[in-house]
Structure 1
Amino acid sequence: MTEARIPVFSTIERDRRWNLARDFMAREGLDALLVFGEHEDAGPAPVAYDTWFTNGRAGTTVVFPRTGEPVSLLPGPMFVMDHLESRRRGDTPWIPPHHLRGTRHSGTVIETLDELSLAEAVIGVIGLGSHMPWHPEGIIPYGVWNNVLSRFPDAVFEPVDLPFGQLVMRLGEEEIAVLRHSARIGDAMVEAMVATAAPGIPESRVYAAGMAAGYSHGSLPPAMHLWSGPDVVAAGPPAWGQRAQAPRVLEDGDVIYAEVFSSFGGRHAQNQVTIAVGDVHEDFHRAADVCRASYDAGLKALRPGHTFGELVDAMHEPIDAADGWPFLIAVHSLNPGLSVGKGRGLFSRIPGTEGYPRVSDHPTFLPSMELAPGMSFAFEPNYAFGRHLAHLGGTVVVGEDAPIELNSYSAQLLHAAGAGQPR
Structure 2
Amino acid sequence: MSDQAVPTFSTAERDRRWDVARAFMKSEGLDALLVFGEHEDAGPAPFAYDMWFTNGRAGTTVVFPRGGDPISLLPMPLFTMDHLESTRRGDIMWIPPENVRLSRDSGAIAETLNELGLAKGNIGVVGLEPYLPWHPEAMVPYQLWNSVLGHFPGVEFRPVTVALSRLILPLSQEEIAAVRYSASIGDAMVRAMVDTAAPGVPESEVYAAGMSAGYARGTIPPAMHLWSGPDPVSTGWPQWGYRPQAPRILQDGDIVFSEVFSQFGGRHTQHQVTITIGEIREDFQRAADVARASYDAGMQALRPGRTFGELVDAMLTPIKAADGWVLQTGIHSLNPI
Moved more, 48-57 or 320-329: 320-329
Deviations 1:152-177 (A, max 9, x none): 11111111111111111111011111
Q: How big is the shift at 1:270?
A: 1.1
Q: Secondary structure at the match of 1:219?
A: coil
Distance between the aligned counterparts of 2:142 and 2:318, measured in 1?
44
Alignment of 1:328-339 (within 5 A): 328-336=328-336
Moved more, 29-38 or 315-324: 315-324
Counterpart residue number, 2:205: 205
Q: Secondary structure at the match of 2:333?
A: strand
Alignment of 1:13-412 (within 5 A): 13-336=13-336
User: Do the aligned residues in 1 keep the contact of 2:122 with 2:155 (CA within 8 Å)?
Assistant: yes
Counterpart residue number, 1:415: none
Give % identity: 66
Deviations 1:115-140 (A, max 9, x none): 11111121111101121222122110
Distance between the aligned counterparts of 1:260 and 1:66, measured in 2?
39
Deviations 1:273-292 (A, max 9, x none): 00111013211111112221
Q: How big is the shift at 1:2?
A: 3.3
Runs of 4+ in 1 over 3 A off after TM superposition: none
User: Do the aligned residues in 1 keep the contact of 2:227 with 2:236 (CA within 8 Å)?
Assistant: yes
User: Do the aligned residues in 2 keep the contact of 1:131 with 1:138 (CA within 8 Å)?
Assistant: yes
Distance between the aligned counterparts of 2:119 and 2:309, measured in 1?
40
Q: Secondary structure at the match of 1:68?
A: coil
User: Do the aligned residues in 2 keep the contact of 1:267 with 1:335 (CA within 8 Å)?
Assistant: no
User: Do the aligned residues in 1 keep the contact of 2:2 with 2:217 (CA within 8 Å)?
Assistant: no
Q: Secondary structure at the match of 1:333?
A: coil
Q: How big is the shift at 1:101?
A: 0.9
Q: Secondary structure at the match of 1:194?
A: helix
Q: How big is the shift at 1:308?
A: 2.0
User: Do the aligned residues in 2 keep the contact of 1:45 with 1:336 (CA within 8 Å)?
Assistant: no
Amino acid at match of 1:328: Q
Distance between the aligned counterparts of 1:162 and 1:283, measured in 2?
42
Structure 2: runs of 5+ lacking an equivalent: none
Moved more, 22-31 or 56-65: 22-31
Structure 1: runs of 5+ lacking an equivalent: 338-423
Q: Give the TM-score taking structure 1 as reference length.
A: 0.78
User: Do the aligned residues in 1 keep the contact of 2:36 with 2:50 (CA within 8 Å)?
Assistant: yes
Query: Structure 1 317/130 Cα, relative in aligned 2: closer, same or farther at 3 Å?
Result: farther
User: Do the aligned residues in 2 keep the contact of 1:196 with 1:206 (CA within 8 Å)?
Assistant: yes
User: Do the aligned residues in 1 keep the contact of 2:124 with 2:157 (CA within 8 Å)?
Assistant: yes
Q: Secondary structure at the match of 2:35?
A: strand
How many residue pairs get aligned? The number is 337
Is the helix fraction higher in 1 or 2?
Answer: 2
Q: How big is the shift at 1:335?
A: 4.4
Deviations 1:344-382 (A, max 9, x none): xxxxxxxxxxxxxxxxxxxxxxxxxxxxxxxxxxxxxxx
Q: Give the TM-score taking structure 2 as reference length.
A: 0.97
Distance between the aligned counterparts of 2:136 and 2:284, measured in 1?
34
Deviations 1:288-341 (A, max 9, x none): 12221221122122111112222223222223333233222212221426xxxx
Q: How big is the shift at 1:92?
A: 2.3
Distance between the aligned counterparts of 1:321 and 1:129, measured in 2?
39
What is the aligned-residue RMSD (CA, Å)?
1.2
